[in-house]
């Protein structure tokens, strides 16, 4: 930065001008340019083609909790580089870069608040943090969220978005699958519901564990949901897969999920489900 730029930025009247980068958003689906303000007011859904863009915990909590009011629940400490892993970069450097870009400690955050006046703990997986990959920190946070739901006597809602297990943590990342399953068994013994909202994309080991264990399975429209990739499956079975395979609507038609819900309808839908599934606990 030149001395002139530094002086200009320090002046009180030298406010940053709106540019094409912060005025417009290009839809990943239809490639149309949309005003950022219009896109954000539409809950990060394209008003042209209805594409549901990926969002993180901050936006989810603001949309789902009554009035956006919530308490962020602290995540327990977890080892950051248990295997001292390195590929083209050190794993610790990848974590630092992800934290710098997202502002979060890891890919899973829990929040406590109310939906339609009923208490609920919501856990959100953020694809922006290393593809939402499931490592020890994600497993610890998930279990902590379930324990908070049990402690507070309310449902647990998991919002998933992941490319699968975190390769840099090897077998330790895969161990989070049974850990999550055991935690959910405790939630069910407590008589509390577990609701899953699958978002784009939910794949790999996450799909093979807590993402598909909900009492009710919801998905956003056209979300990619599956275990192995479509190309891998086609190469294995040597057949062409149907149109829309692994998309939410296909899974709904074939009984793998219970409903596909537009983002704007999620608070009302979740409120209704919580009232049905936990009327006494949530009263």
Query: Which H/E stretch holds residue 110?
Result: strand 108-115
- E-assigned strand segments in 64-220: 70-73, 108-115, 118-125, 156-162, 194-202, 216-219
Distance CA 214, CA 171 (A): 24
| Helices of type H across 131-258 | 136-152, 170-174, 176-189, 230-237, 248-253
Distance CA 133, CA 151 (A): 27
Distance CA 253, CA 76 (A): 39
Helices 176-189 & 136-152, crossing angle to 10 degrees? 0
Q: Which two tokens stand for residue 130?
A: 């290393």
Which residues carry a binding-site annotation for Zn(2+)? 27, 30, 46, 49
Which residues carry a binding-site annotation? 27, 30, 46, 49
Neighbours of 186 (CB within 10 A): 14
Q: What is the largest CA-CA distance in the chain?
A: 65
Neighbours of 15 (CB within 10 A): 8
């Amino acid at each position: 930065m030149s001395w002139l730029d530094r002086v200009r930025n320090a002046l009180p009247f030298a406010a940053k001008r709106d540019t094409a980068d912060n005025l417009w958003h290009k839809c990943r689906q239809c490639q149309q340019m949309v005003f950022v303000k219009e896109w954000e007011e539409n809950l990060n859904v394209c008003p042209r083609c209805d594409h549901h863009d990926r969002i993180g915990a901050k936006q989810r909590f603001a949309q789902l909790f009554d009035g956006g009011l919530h308490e962020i629940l602290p995540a327990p400490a977890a080892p950051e580089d248990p295997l001292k892993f390195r590929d083209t970069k050190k794993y610790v450097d990848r974590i630092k870069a992800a934290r710098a870009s997202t502002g979060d400690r890891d890919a899973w955050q829990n929040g406590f608040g109310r939906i339609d006046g009923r208490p609920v703990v919501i856990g959100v997986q953020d694809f922006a943090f290393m593809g939402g990959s499931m490592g020890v920190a994600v497993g610890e946070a998930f279990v902590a969220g379930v324990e908070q739901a049990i402690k507070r006597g309310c449902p647990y809602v998991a919002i998933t978005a992941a490319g699968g297990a975190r390769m840099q943590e090897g077998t330790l990342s895969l161990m989070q699958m049974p850990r999550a399953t055991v935690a959910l068994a405790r939630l069910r013994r407590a008589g509390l519901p577990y609701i899953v909202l699958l978002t784009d994309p939910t794949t790999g080991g996450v799909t093979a564990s807590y993402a598909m264990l909900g009492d009710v399975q919801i998905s956003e429209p056209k979300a990619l949901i599956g275990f192995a990739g479509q190309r891998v499956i086609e190469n294995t079975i040597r057949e062409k897969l149907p149109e829309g395979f692994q998309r939410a609507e296909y899974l709904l038609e074939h009984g793998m999920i219970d409903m596909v819900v537009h983002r704007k309808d999620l608070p009302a839908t979740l409120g209704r489900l919580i009232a049905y599934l936990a009327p006494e606990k949530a009263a």
